Structure 1
Amino acid sequence: MKHPQWLATMEDEISALHNNHTGTLVPRLSAPNIVGSKWVFRTKHKSDSTIERLKARLVAQGFTQIPGFDYSLTFSPVVKATTIRLILSLAVLNGWPLHQLDVKNAFLHGHLTEIVYMEQPPGFVDPRFPTHVCRLNKALYGLKQAPRAWFQRLSSFLMRSGFICSRADPSLFFFYRGRITLYLLVYVDDIILTGSDPPFLTQFIARLNAEFAIKYLGKLGYFLGLEITYTADGLFLGQAKYAHDLLSRAMMLEAKPVSTPLAAGFHLVSDGVAYSDPTQYRSLVGALQYLTITRLDLSYAVNTVSQFLQAPTIDHFQAVKHILRYVCGTQHFGLTFRSSPSPAVLGYSDADWARCTDTRRSTYGYAIFLGDNLLS
């Protein structure tokens, strides 16, 4: 039996499922394929590592689904890091407020087009129908098509409300009406909203809440591991907590810092003694790639070690450790976004000529600014 605090969150989840009419109990004999169900428990933390809330979630065991039978398409767009930086920059340049929203039980709002049967929730089996199974009417976490179903429901609502989906990033929606401009970014169930008219923003948040049950988190402060700190002339975007957690996972919190991501004149080649744990190598490099959202000073070094994910050697792993030692001494580095009287789009590019000793290919780099704010 879980702790009483966890039991309360489980009961809240079951209540949300019933209120949303997520499933209907039917006799087991009518179900050709039955998906399992389980509870997942998670402790959500704030940017300062204190506990924000406990969360219990009922999930479907989607790995038992049959392709073409109880699911087909599964793709759902994910917001690009460049788009996040662009919206933050536009908000700072125009002096717009940044709001953060969280959709309660987001996947439960998605409509299923396939017939899916699931076992009753462990610990909450209906005593009147103990052998029945749930025929799902709405999407549920764990189902392979759940992210797509939720995004289709949300995007349909936004377009009915006058929003237009960006062609450059499907996770960005914008609204224009006279002098009113709104931008909405969505990452699964997390939403960033900004715009030129605060009263209209408040009205739209109320309308969004009436449709989906929104938790208003106030001024944007912590989003997808990104920490937003407001300054006198803009904001600072960092990932100090994420960097600390990464170093802790790599057991390098006490490592001796270095002053550069890679040593000057350093070259990596594909030949060498194979590293004994390539999975660890790939995991660390993947985590470093996410860190480059705010740490663009790491981009070239991380790009370099990413070229050897298939067959990493000991030298490649030593290069990853060198990057982590640099991160150890620069955990609080990040991006600053400032207002500018006349922002212009500026781009810079460069390339190293045939630097790769294996393929003789060049590596091209670029930096795109909006005013003084680095976007890409």
Structure 2
Amino acid sequence: MFLIMGWHNVLLLDNDEPKTYKEAVMRPNSEKWLEAMRSELKSMADNHAWNLVEPLDEVRPIECKWVFKKKIDADGNVHIYKARLVAKGFPLAKGFPQIQGVDYDETFSPIAMLKSIRILLAIAAYYGYEVWQMDVKTAFLNGNLSEDLYMTQLEGFVDLENARKVCKLRMSIYGLKQASQSWNLRFDEVVKGFGFIKNVKEPCVYKKVSGSALIFLVLYVDDILLIGNDIPICEGLVEKSFSMKDLGEAAYILGIKIYRDRSKHLIGLSQSTYIDKVLKRFNMHDSKKGFLFLPMSPGLILSKT
């Protein structure tokens, strides 16, 4: 069994994505972003995320904004234009941020550790398990909201006949301090109801054994990895409760390209797309190629030359 690692936990901001609604609608590809915003609003409506109500004197509406993101495939090509409606629930936000004890209580929500994903992929390589990927559509809208929260209407999509009204939130949406925890608690409740057992040391890894079938389920915010020998039965269970997008055999997750050679029991992980992006960002894409062994030796002294 071999497991090839070629990546680190890194982040690169894409400066080609619009930062505001006005910027998005002024772009040459504005129709792509408008289509993404309309899709997001449809999800909100389908989930009955809010009702428009007359504002009361004591109401402190939270402001909201659009967040835009291009999703790329394993080869670095844009395949999805994503627009996310986000509530400005944090202290640095303009308007009225959420107040602890009034608008929310607990906020902590776990995510799967990347080393846990690597371990499970090693197990999949050794035993020849399938590795399947799914995406929970508008995951945070599945979280229940117990507090009374109000939000301003959306820029570019204000109901002109009810322009004075505000949105009384019914479901937890992105940007609320409790949104991630609300979603995680709901997901945990549902999958354990289907017979999955949560790992004691890794709360976002679940296991289900039924006869000869064995399935591991990994949750990373709204991305799901299914690893095991009976994927269809697990897919069916999850799809009973959440709106899912089946992405098929895992090939690209969390910015990591996954490739496989079943004959050699080998799974490889690569961030070549990210590396190319970094080189282009710093104008080094024409630099001479070489080899760099990772991790570096402790105490290695780097010189500017």
Q: Normalising TM by the smaller chain, what interval?
A: 0.7 to 0.9
Contact 1:97/1:194 (<8 A) preserved: yes
Contact 1:111/1:138 (<8 A) preserved: yes
Counterpart residue number, 1:39: 66
Counterpart residue number, 2:216: 183
Offset, 1:9 = 1.6
Distance 2:253 2:292 in 1: 28
Query: Given the alignment, which residue of 288, 295, 298 partners 2:295?
Result: 298
Contact 1:107/1:146 (<8 A) preserved: yes
- Partner amino acid, structure 1, of 2:254: L
Distance 1:299 1:102 in 2: 35
Say whether residues 1:14 and 2:46 are aligned partners: no
Q: Secondary structure at the match of 2:241?
A: helix
Counterpart residue number, 2:252: 222
Which is helix-richer, 1 or 2? 1
Distance 2:32 2:257 in 1: 28
Distance 1:206 1:22 in 2: 25
- Partner amino acid, structure 2, of 1:72: D
Counterpart residue number, 1:235: 267
Between stretches 84-93 and 60-69, larger displacement belongs to 60-69
| Mapping 1:54-133, distance limit 5 Å | 54-63=81-90, 64-133=97-166
Q: Secondary structure at the match of 1:28?
A: coil
Contact 2:194/2:237 (<8 A) preserved: no
Distance 2:296 2:62 in 1: 42
Distance 1:40 1:88 in 2: 32
Offset, 1:258 = 6.6
Counterpart residue number, 2:13: none
Distance 1:145 1:300 in 2: 42
Counterpart residue number, 1:373: none
Q: After superposition, what is the alpha-carbon deviation per residue over 1:278-336, rounded to whole angstroms, capped at 9, x for unaligned?
A: xxxxxxxxxxxxxxxxxxx22655xx69xxxxxxxxx8xx56x79xxxxxxxxxxxxxx
Query: Given the alignment, which residue of 239, 244, 254 partners 2:276?
Result: 244
Q: Secondary structure at the match of 1:152?
A: helix
- CA pair 163-30 structure 1, distance change in 2 beyond 3 A: farther
Distance 1:136 1:54 in 2: 26
Offset, 1:54 = 0.8
Distance 1:222 1:299 in 2: 26
Percent of aligned positions that are identical: 35
Larger RCO, structure (CA 8 Å, separation 6 or more) = 2
Query: Given the alignment, which residue of 202, 210, 213 partners 2:243?
Result: 213
Say whether residues 1:143 and 2:176 are aligned partners: yes
Distance 2:173 2:126 in 1: 40
Distance 2:149 2:77 in 1: 38
Offset, 1:260 = 5.4
Counterpart residue number, 1:357: none
Q: Secondary structure at the match of 1:67?
A: coil
Distance 2:213 2:55 in 1: 53
Counterpart residue number, 1:266: none
Distance 1:203 1:213 in 2: 16
- Partner amino acid, structure 1, of 2:191: L
Offset, 1:7 = 1.5
Contact 1:182/1:194 (<8 A) preserved: yes
Q: After superposition, what is the alpha-carbon deviation per residue over 1:228-251, rounded to whole angstroms, capped at 9, x for unaligned?
A: 111132221112122233344455
Contact 2:215/2:234 (<8 A) preserved: no
| Mapping 1:270-309, distance limit 5 Å | 297-298=294-295
Distance 1:257 1:209 in 2: 45
Q: After superposition, what is the alpha-carbon deviation per residue over 1:25-50, rounded to whole angstroms, capped at 9, x for unaligned?
A: 12112553211011112111112111
Distance 2:163 2:283 in 1: 48
List runs of 5+ in structure 2 lacking aligned partners.
1-21, 91-96
Offset, 1:167 = 0.9
TM-score, scaled to structure 2: 0.81
Contact 1:31/1:117 (<8 A) preserved: no
Q: Which has the larger radius of gyration?
A: 1
TM-score, scaled to structure 1: 0.67
Q: After superposition, what is the alpha-carbon deviation per residue over 1:114-135, rounded to whole angstroms, capped at 9, x for unaligned?
A: 2221111112222332111111
- Partner amino acid, structure 2, of 1:196: N
Q: Secondary structure at the match of 1:98?
A: strand
Q: Secondary structure at the match of 1:206?
A: helix
- Partner amino acid, structure 2, of 1:245: K
Counterpart residue number, 1:195: 228
